[in-house]
């Protein structure tokens, strides 16, 4: 199985398709299989060499219980280690939610490795406490019950993957401070797309905070919440792919 070593932690990744590199970084409690299930891989693999990585705690990557394993700089190390393992100097990146946060961290701390970034469901400022922390504290059954009340396609396969999460590690991740990244990326020259629904609980982290970031674009989807910002692929993917195509090398 393909792994990269990131400061002693094993980071799992998979490759799909061919073309210029595009790293896909999913959100909290999600899986690289979600990119497949929702249709992203099928629509992107003929145009890009897709790098699907499982960040720490997710999938079959390591699941440390220490909050200092989930710092911004560690997440950057996780991505850089995968790129180094593959011999890739620079990549485009598509990140959603926590994955969008990871993309922002790359812009802050390792921008020379990023060609352009599409960032969904998150902005460059932080919010404490996380709105989902209360559910994770109650364990996997409470988390599943909450998600099943949303529009997420709760298949048996998805539930099985969700139960494989280590909730102690997830809480360690959420207990790691999420610093404000806006001051770092105000000087970036990396093209960036921020996309979010106006019903997303993170909308306030985007509106008013990204408009003056150099080389950035903002796309707001009317009536879309955080879940559907990932699921509504027919709506969200066209502006994403247009941005990626316009900013690829």
pLDDT in tens, 212-224: 999 999 999 999 9
Q: How do strand 48-54 and strand 9-16 relate by DSSP bridges?
A: antiparallel
27-40 burial code (b ≥16 CB/10 A, e <16): bbbbbbbbbbebeb
Residue length of the chain: 249
Closest CA to 59 of 12, 104, 96: 12
Does domain 3-247 sit in CATH 3.40.50.2300? no
37 near 231, Cβ under 8 Å? no
Domain ranges for the chain:
3-247
Single pTM value for the model: 0.96
Helices (H), 87-215: 98-109, 133-137, 140-147, 156-163, 167-175, 182-185
Pairwise CA distance, residues 161 & 25, whole Å: 17
**Structure confidence by residue, pLDDT tens digits, 78-104:** 999 999 999 999 999 999 999 999 999
């Amino acid at each position: 199985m393909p792994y990269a070593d990131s400061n002693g932690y094993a980071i799992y990744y998979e490759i799909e398709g061919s073309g210029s590199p595009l790293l896909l970084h999913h959100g909290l409690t999600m899986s690289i299989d979600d990119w497949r299930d929702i249709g992203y891989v099928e629509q992107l693999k003929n145009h890009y060499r897709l790098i699907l990585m499982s960040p720490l705690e997710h999938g079959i990557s390591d699941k440390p219980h220490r909050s200092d394993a989930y710092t911004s700089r560690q997440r950057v190390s996780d991505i850089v280690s995968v790129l180094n393992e593959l011999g890739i100097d620079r990549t485009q990146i598509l990140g959603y939610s926590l994955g969008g946060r990871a993309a922002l961290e790359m812009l802050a701390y390792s921008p020379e490795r990023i060609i352009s970034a599409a960032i969904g469901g998150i902005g460059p400022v932080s919010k404490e406490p996380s709105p989902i922390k209360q559910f994770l504290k109650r364990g996997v059954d409470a988390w599943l019950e909450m998600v099943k009340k949303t529009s997420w396609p709760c298949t048996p396969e998805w539930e099985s993957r969700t139960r494989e999460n280590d909730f102690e590690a997830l809480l360690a991740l959420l207990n790691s401070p999420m610093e404000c990244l806006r001051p770092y990326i105000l000087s970036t020259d990396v093209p960036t797309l921020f996309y979010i629904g106006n019903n997303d609980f993170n909308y306030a982290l985007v509106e008013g905070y990204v408009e003056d970031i150099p080389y950035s674009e903002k796309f707001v989807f009317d009536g879309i919440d955080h879940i559907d910002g990932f699921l509504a692929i027919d709506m969200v993917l066209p502006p994403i792919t247009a941005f990626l195509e316009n900013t690829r090398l």
